[in-house]
Structure 1
Amino acid sequence: MFMRIDHIGIACHDLEEKIELFSRTFELTVVAREVNEEQGVKEAMLHIADGEGGGSYIQLLEPLSEESPVGKFLARRGEGVHHVAFGVPDVADAMHKIKEKGVRLLDERPRHGSMGSEIAFLHPKDVGGMLTELVQAVTPVQNVKKVHM
């Protein structure tokens, strides 16, 4: 079902500061930035590597408000890993198969994710306490325009 680890989502207070840290320290390149009003975040995707199933990224997330899910996460736990996202060939199919196995879904249907992807989240209590995201990439890695800072 999983093709790769698509990205690791990291919650942070200051997106620009963390972009600079990850770019300088790990020599990662920002390939996409966006504001996702639905999820209440400003985000940046930093490219790690490409593999047979697609690319892998670090996703840096800054909340738009303290009341957003990432804002509440930061208040409870501070900065750090927020979620792990796995690449799947068909997010709706993966959701169906996972639900049949008794795992609760936080999303009833796929929704818009980073870089044009389709995503869905699984309930952390049903997967060992880890917020888990399913990602169906829509944009081939080769067509992602790299944004240099």
Structure 2
Amino acid sequence: MIKKIDHIGIAVKSIEKTSELFSNILGLKVVGEEIIEEQKVKVVFLPLGDSELELLESTSPDGPVARFIEKKGEGIQHIAFRVDNLEKILEKLKEDGIRLIDEKPRYGAGGTKIAFLHPKSTNGILIELSERNE
């Protein structure tokens, strides 16, 4: 079902400052920048081997990333797993009683299809499932 860790999402107040930190300390390079209007978030990726770090900066004070930072501070917000056939996996998880935030895939950064599982069904961890057209 799960192919690999796709990325780790990190909620930040400033993508610019945080990406400088990762670049200067760890030598990671930022790839692209994208605003996902429906999620009220700006994202950049920092490739690391065959996975990535995703920096998330809210574009609105009422966005989910802004609320996360207000409640928990900056830091790891979610872990994303790469999957094939996201729709089928969501159907199975729903049948198995897993609480879903997204019952159907939605648009994610880089043209991916994504869906989130509710942390109440995953021991408090926000899990994203990500399907990429490769």
User: For each residue in 1:109-146, what CA deviation from the matched residue of structure 2 results, as whole angstroms up to 9, or x when unmatched?
Assistant: 101111110000001000010011000012x3xxxxxx
Shift, 1:96, TM fit: 1.2
Residue equivalent to 1:33: 33
Which amino acid in 2 is paired with 1:16?
Answer: E
Which residues of 2 match residues 12-23 of structure 1 at below 5 A? 12-23=12-23
Quote the residue 2:119 is aligned against: 124
- The CA deviation string for residues 75-134 of structure 1, in whole angstroms up to 9 with x for no partner, is 011100000100001111111121121101111210111111000000100001001100
Q: Report the more deviating stretch, 114-123 or 29-38.
A: 29-38
CA RMSD of aligned residues (A): 0.9
Query: Hey, what's the Cα distance between the residues in 1 that align with 2:31 and 2:93?
Result: 30
Instruction: Give aligned pairs, total.
Output: 134
Which residue is 2:75 aligned to? Answer: 80
CA separation in 2, counterparts of 1:91 and 1:24? 36
**Could you say which residue in structure 1 is the equivalent of 2:61?**
66
Name the aligned partner's letter for residue 8 of structure 2. I
Aligned residue for 1:29, secondary structure, equals coil
The CA deviation string for residues 28-65 of structure 1, in whole angstroms up to 9 with x for no partner, is: 12222100111111110110112xxxxx1100000011
Write the distance in 2 (CA, Å) between the matches of 1:22 and 1:137: 25
Extract unaligned runs of 5+ from structure 1: 51-55, 141-149
The amino acid of 1:76's aligned partner reads K
4+ residue segments displaced more than 6 Å: none
Unaligned stretches of 5+ in structure 2? none
Structure 1 residue 101 corresponds to structure 2 residue 103:
no
The TM-score normalised by the length of structure 2 is 0.96
Q: Distance in 2 between matches of 1:69 and 1:34?
A: 16
